[in-house]
A = this chain, B = another copy of it.
Amino acid sequence: MALPFLTQARAPLTREIGTVNEHGDAGIISIPAERPLTVYVDRKELVTLMTLGARPEWLVLGYLRNQRLVRSVEEVESITVDWEVGAAAVKTRSGIKRLKERTARRVVTTGCGQGSVFGGLMDEIESIHLPPAASITQAQLYGILNAIRLQESTYKSAGSVHGCALFRGDEMQLFVEDVGRHNAIDTIAGWMWMQSEDVAPGEISSAGRPPLGAASVGAPIFYTTGRLTSEMIIKSAQMGVPIVVSRSGITQMGHEIAQRLDLCAIGRATNRHFLCYCAPHRLHLQPELAGPKLRAVA
Residue positions of A touching B, CB distance < 8 A: 15, 17, 19-24, 27, 29, 31-36, 47-50, 103, 106-117, 138, 158-160, 162, 179-183, 226-227, 229-231, 248-255, 272-277, 280, 283, 285, 287, 289-290, 293
Contacts and interface: CB of A to CB of B under 8 A. Distances in A.
Given A31-B251, A107-B48, A108-B50, A287 B115 contact: no
A16 to B, nearest CB: 11
Contact of A19 (B24, B29, B275): B275
A153 to B, nearest CB: 14
A85 B115 CA distance: 22
B17 A277 contact: yes
B110 A251 contact: no
B252 A35 contact: yes
B181 A230 contact: no
Contact of A116 (B20, B116, B159): B116
A138 B48 CA distance: 38
Main secondary structure of the interface of A (DSSP, over half): mixed
Given A114-B111, A181-B113, A32 B290 contact: no
Contacts of A35: 252-253
Which 7 pairs, one residue from A and one from B, show the smallest C-beta to C-beta distance?
Answer: A111-B113, A112-B112, A113-B115, A116-B116, A160-B249, A22-B290, A34-B252
Given A34-B252, A110-B180, A113-B113, A24 B226 contact: no
A21 B15 CA distance: 40
A250 B158 CA distance: 10
B252 A31 contact: yes
Contacts of A230: 34, 50
Given A15-B252, A22-B290, A230-B50, A181 B112 contact: yes
Given A32-B251, A34-B251, A160-B251, A19 B277 contact: yes
Contacts of A277: 17, 19
